[in-house]
A and B are shown apart, each in its own frame.
Chain A
Amino acid sequence: MALQTGALGLLARKLYGLQVENGDKYARMAASNRVSKRYLAPPRGHIVDRYNVALASNKENWRALLLPEETTDVNGTIERFSTIIPLDEHDRARILREMRHKRRFVPVMLRDFLSWDEMARIELNAPSLPGVLIDVGTRRVYPEGESLAHIIGYVAPPNERDVARSALLALPGMRVGRAGIEQSQDTTLCGTAGSVEMEVNSVGRVISELNRAEGTSGTKIGLTIDSVLQHAVLGRIGDQTASAVVMNCRNGEVLAMASTPSFDPSLFDSGVSHTQWLEWINNERTPLINKAVAGVYPPGSTFKPAVAMAGLKAGLISPSDRVFCPGHLDVGGTRFHCWSRWGHGSLDLHQALKFSCDVYFYEMARRIGMDHIAETAHSFGLGTPLDIELPHTRTGLIPTPTWRQAHHHHWNGGDTIVSGIGQGFVQVTPLQLATYTSRLATGRAVQPHLVRSLNDETGPQATAEHWPELDMPAAGLAALRSGMFAVVNEPHGTAPKAKLTIPGVMMAGKTGSAQVRRVSRALRESGHFNSANLPWEYRPHALFICFAPYDNPQYAVSVVIEHGNAGAEAAAPLARDIMTDTLLRDPANHITPPPERVADASDTQ
């Protein structure tokens, strides 16, 4: 008896430990057992341009769901449904698969993106479709379509890795940014999930709703882009495979960023067909790549002001130093040709820029050395990462002997010489060119950016004072600007076609033609060499960088036309047109007569 009392007493003691001493712990476990927290998908933030024009928004997506437990004859219901709304084999296979994996009280999606007409037909036949219900979700729409596809990017359903990263993404209808702003600002646009706590039983059926917390919808992002200007730029580019960037050179706002050809971003929301994908991938004009940030090109002669600044900053050259150009430069047994067969004679910096003399910059590059050139190029934003809010950007490259040796090659003197005219290993993106032009025009280290406001609040980056001044001599910058002014406006400049037709506004610029393959000696000496006769893919790229107004720089434009042959012929007029559109759209309209003085920004130095 004592044994029995003792045994049950021990059990009672153990029960006391379980129930009273550890009661709180188990009560919490019981609560988490029965309370299922489910997330509510927050609406994705809108993207608008600087004038509040919608660039990406959400549209209702009506879809038909089937609740298997509410119909006795699942297959019959699906059959009848397909007579009203056709379902293809792919849909049917997916529906059957989902039904096998889900519990009977979890709805299965039959069809989404229903039209009003289709919905009306479903509603009309509701009595014969037990368990079929219509539900609303959202889909992402891009009113501007192709014109801003590279900047806005697109969204796509999350993959397994995304879902593993965040449970929120497992919610039906959630999308993940896969390119552009949609990708880089994904967390901002995503918002925070609301949650609803529900009492569930052991098989997960909802018994009652306990608690509900609404989520916050994604932040509305205002871009620096002017969608009207963007359209104008695209119109100017036309069918050419090109890239153009328009920047506010005072604060780095990117007003337009074009890359042609483009693609339709809305195709990604519901999944891209294989044929469409192959077509994009195999297109030599690379529609999916944003050439403005991911296309790298030799800058050609547009690099020359940076080379000169390297020398001026290091004190190795002065603007008045003269170099004689006989049409070529011989270094170490190799002859480096100027673009002008007959040479330019004796030149100072101003003239060298104006005529874009190659020999002058061969010689200066040799005197300055690659390390100085690379350092200055980097501080101009060339060949260095920029803070642009876009994914998949490329850095480009300013080669240095150290870099070359890291790849187990010897750095030749000739490598420095060809780098002096932006050829050889030098590679930059159009956005870097625009940044470089902006910094050159204002003397401030502006960073290009696309995000102007979050929920209509503008940050400090919109003011010029936010950006630090470059560590470069003001007189040197002025000399470069004046040289670039001469390119466009003085007689015998290389880009007379870039002269603005707006009265009283002057533009400064620099041409560039970047060879994509070496011109052989035999071809050059044949005397019949004309790059315009080459096949498209062998023609040089045409580049042009410019800023305006000259006296008070406001905007910088860079243009790269792939295989456009000559910067002066193809790129300069395009840049002029783009700059004209930009200036005409400027609400402040800084149009003043062109005085013979340098810009305000450098005066303050």
Chain B
Amino acid sequence: MKFHKRLLRAEPSFRLLSKLWRISWLYVLLICTLAAAGYITLYSAAGGAPYPFAAPQAARFAVGLVMMITIAMLPPKVLIRAAWPLYIFSVALLAAVLHMGHVGKGAERWLIIGGVQVQPSEYAKIALVLVLAAWFHRLNHRQMGNPLWLLPPAFIVLLPVVLVLKEPNLGTATIIGGIGAALFFAAGMRLWQIVLLVLPVPYLIKVAYSHLHDYQRARITTFLNPESDPLGAGYNIIQSKIALGSGGMWGQGYLKGSQGQLNFLPEKQTDFIFTMIAEEWGYAGALTVISLLLIIILGGMLMAIRSRNRFGRLVALGISVNFFLYCLVNLSMVMGAIPVGGVPLPLVSYGGSAMLNVMMGFGLLLSTWVHRDSRFGESEPD
């Protein structure tokens, strides 16, 4: 295959070692710290044991780390070339999952490929970032002003959004839409144009609501009044709030959180892992984790600003926004600020697919950092 050979030839201008040197190891350390916080919490979630959560998670993280470093070595040209095939492949997977996917608790759909659970919507996000970045990378300023050139990327965003909505996974669809909007804005689209794009959103919400499962509607109703059904749909929110609140300033102590240890917390090792942190380590611990997340997000944004090519800027921004939206939705959910949505806390929550996906994202982010000074194929300098 021609494509294959090109990939192997790759970028000649850097030696591998010097590339490794250019990786922001401080950033890698931040990521490892967050993963360590996840390990410690998962150890507690299992009642003070490495199994069944903490040890497998650590193993996955090791794999993810290797994958991240590997991806960080890939030059932007390779990424641009891989963008479209990846996008088409992930959209195909999204379509496939609609027909033959496994439906888990709620309706997160996944495929099992070679014994590994794959959640296509996660990969679609990364592919979307790459494709949009590649597309906008080629456009010059005049083209950006022309709506005709903006229609294809709008379609690129809407296709996975609609497919994910049909799953139906409202949370992920929102995040995909959010990433798309962020990239459009960063690429220099006019604000009024974005407003024009956003105008049909209320209609889309209405359509989406009519497609919602009963359990999803229940989430919205219980979100509005969680105490209305304390043992039913409101249970998660109430127990989560109790766990958060009972942590107080300094927490109940490691391995001593009553809500988590006594199993009152639902999904404590996955979506609601943050409540365990807050319960056992208190506001101090929770604030530390939030600060860590914020530093990682801002670090990504800084990488985007520092990049001297548009593609790198957009990829770094897209990945950071993706990570930010993940954190935002998860934290808002456990605090009862938005309806419960099946979105894990990246790197901390237990789960293989999400972990590998996030690490792939960080790989791309680091790649833009490694290749921050290379300039290529841009229509005009900014």
Of A15-23, A402-410, A495-503, the segment with at least 4 beta carbons within 8 Å of chain B is: A15-23
Contacts of B335 in A (CB 8 A): 11, 14-15, 18
Cα distance A12–B292 when bound, in Å? 12
> Closest Cβ of chain A: how far from B365's Cβ, in Å?
15
Residues of B within 8 A of A199 (CB): 258, 262
Partner of B262, one of A5, A8, A25, A200: A200
* Shortest Cβ gap from B329 to chain A (Å): 11
Would you give the shortest CB distance from B328 to chain A, in whole angstroms? 6
**B301 part of interface (Cβ distance < 8 Å):** yes
CB under 8 Å from chain B, chain A span 1-49: 1, 4-5, 7-8, 11-12, 14-16, 18-20, 22-27, 29-31, 33-34
Q: Assess whether B258 is in contact with A30, with CB atoms less than 8 Å apart.
A: yes
Of chain A, the residue at the smallest CB distance from B335 is A14
B262 touches A19 (CB 8 A): no
Max chain B CB contacts within 10 Å: which of A14, A15, A199, A202?
A15
Query: A1-B301, A26-B242 are contacts. A34–B258 as well, Cβ < 8 Å?
Result: yes
A207 interfacial contact with B, CB 8 Å = yes
Query: What count of chain B residues pass the 8 Å CB interface test?
Result: 34
Whether B245 lies near A8 (C-beta < 8 A) is no
Does B366 lie at the interface of the complex (its beta carbon under 8 Å from any beta carbon of A)?
Answer: no
**B243-267 CB contact bits vs A (8 Å, 1 = yes)?**
1111111000000001100111000
In whole Å, how far is B252's beta carbon from the nearest beta carbon of chain A?
8
In the complex, B298 has a CB within 8 A of chain A: yes
Residues A20 and B283 in contact, CB atoms below 8 Å apart: yes
- Residues of B within 8 Å of A26, CB to CB, are 241-246
Instruction: Give CA–CA (A8, B294) in the complex, Å.
Output: 7
Check: B327 CB closer than 8 A to any chain A CB: yes
Q: Is B356 an interface residue (CB 8 A)?
A: no
Interface presence of A71 (CB below 8 A): no
In the bound complex, residues from chain A placing their C-beta under 8 Å from that of B63 are none
- Produce 1/0 per residue, B343-379, CB < 8 A to A: 0000000000000000000000000000000000000
A33 to B246, CA, bound (A): 11
A203 at the A/B interface (Cβ < 8 Å)?
Answer: yes
Q: Which one, B248, B282, B298, B331, contacts A11 given CB within 8 A? A: B331
B287 CB, min distance to chain A CBs, angstroms: 6
Which B-chain residue is minimally distant from A3 (CB atoms)? B324
Decide: B290 and A23 in contact? CB cutoff 8 A. no
A-facing residues in B73-121 (Cβ within 8 Å): none
Bound together, the chains give a CA A4 to CA B337 distance in angstroms of 16
Closest residue of B by beta carbon distance from A14: B335
Taken together as a complex, chains A and B put the C-alpha atoms of A23 and B242 apart, in Å, by: 9
B263 A30 Cβ-Cβ under 8 A: no
Chain B residues positioned under 8 Å from A33 (CB to CB): 239, 242, 258-259, 262, 264
A201 within 8 A of B: yes
Does the CB pair A34–B248 fall under 8 Å? no
The listed residue (A27, A200, A207) touching B248 by CB distance below 8 A is: A27
A-B contact pairs, 26 of them (CB 8 A): A4-B297, A4-B320, A4-B324, A7-B324, A8-B290, A8-B327, A14-B335, A18-B244, A18-B245, A19-B247, A19-B282, A19-B283, A19-B286, A22-B245, A23-B245, A23-B246, A23-B248, A26-B243, A30-B243, A30-B258, A31-B246, A31-B258, A33-B258, A33-B264, A34-B262, A34-B264
Residues of A within 8 A of B (CB): 1, 4-5, 7-8, 11-12, 14-16, 18-20, 22-27, 29-31, 33-34, 199-203, 207
* Closest CB pairs A-B (n = 7): A26-B245, A30-B246, A23-B248, A201-B262, A202-B263, A19-B283, A27-B246
Q: Using A19-B247, A20-B283, A202-B262 as known contacts, list a sample of 4 further A-B pairs with CB atoms less than 8 Å apart, ordered by residue number in A.
A: A26-B241, A30-B264, A33-B242, A33-B264
